């Protein structure tokens, strides 16, 4: 008790009410920054990819023409276009050869029994061959060519990390 008969003011171990107000203000400010960032990402068509089938990172969705090597957002997860209509795809255990050139990281693991049949295919109008950047990516190695109608958007990498293929 103090001289005037009141209990002494107790403070928490963080420095009292002032420190608690600062912490509350910091939490509120951080929450507002996060809300603004998420809203901006939605407005600017920015999406994240955490799947190992393509480099994990942040991508901006676009609606550019479909070109070989472009990332596309399918009604399935993010994939990369390896072949376009008119291209020839040869499927082998070593991987997908597009117009005679082996696509990187497209080999089919020996432990995977169900894959698209080995052979040579000519892509017809409105068909794409899509491949992920991971040997176990569920892509054209397993289901073959897809119709362009499955493409929702193209995607430009803004910030990605490289996949470890070891």
67 exposure class (CB count in 10 Å sphere: 0-12, 13-18, 19+): exposed
Residues 94/141, Cβ–Cβ less than 8 Å: no
Residues 87, 123 within the same domain: yes
Are 7 and 79 within one domain? no
Residue 140 forms part of a structural domain: yes
| 16 and 34 together in one domain | yes
Q: Calculate the CA 106 to chain-centre distance.
A: 18
In a domain, 147, yes or no: yes
For residues 71 and 17, membership in a common domain is answered with no
Q: Give the pLDDT score at 120.
A: 98
Do 59 and 124 have their domain in common? yes
Please state, in angstroms and rounded to a whole number, the distance separating the CA atoms of residues 127 and 115: 18
Q: Hey, is 85 helix, strand or coil?
A: coil
Has residue 165 been placed in a domain?
Answer: no
- The span from the CA of 27 to the CA of 110, in Å, is 51
More confident: 137 or 43: 137
122-154: pLDDT as tens digits: 999 999 999 988 878 889 999 999 999 999 889
How confident is the prediction for the chain on average, in pLDDT?
85
pTM: 0.64
- Check residues 128 and 58 and name the one with the higher pLDDT: 128
Rounded-to-integer distance, Cα 150 and Cα 29, Å = 40
Are residues 85 and 72 part of one domain? Answer: yes
Determine the structural domain holding residue 29 and report its residue range.
1-43
- What's the structural domain count of the chain? 2
Whether residues 36 and 78 fall in one domain: no
Residues 67 and 145 in one domain: yes
Arithmetic mean of pLDDT, 67-76: 84
Q: What CATH number is given to the structural domain containing 97?
A: 2.10.109.10
Whether the pLDDT of residue 166 is over 80: the answer is no
């Amino acid at each position: 008790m103090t001289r005037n008969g009141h209990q002494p003011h107790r403070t928490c171990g963080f420095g009292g009410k002032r420190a608690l107000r600062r912490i509350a203000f910091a939490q509120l400010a951080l929450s507002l920054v996060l809300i603004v960032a998420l809203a901006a990402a939605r407005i600017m068509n920015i999406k994240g990819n955490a799947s190992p089938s393509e480099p994990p990172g942040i991508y901006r969705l676009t609606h550019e023409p479909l070109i070989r090597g472009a990332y596309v957002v399918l009604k399935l997860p993010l994939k990369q276009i390896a072949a376009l209509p008119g291209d020839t795809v040869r499927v082998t255990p070593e991987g997908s050869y597009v117009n005679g050139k082996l696509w990187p990281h497209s080999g089919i693991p020996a432990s995977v029994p169900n894959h698209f049949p080995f052979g040579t295919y000519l892509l017809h109008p409105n068909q794409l061959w899509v491949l992920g950047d991971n040997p176990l990516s569920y892509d054209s190695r397993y289901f073959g060519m897809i119709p362009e109608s499955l493409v929702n958007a193209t995607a430009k990498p803004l910030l990605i990390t490289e996949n470890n293929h070891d």
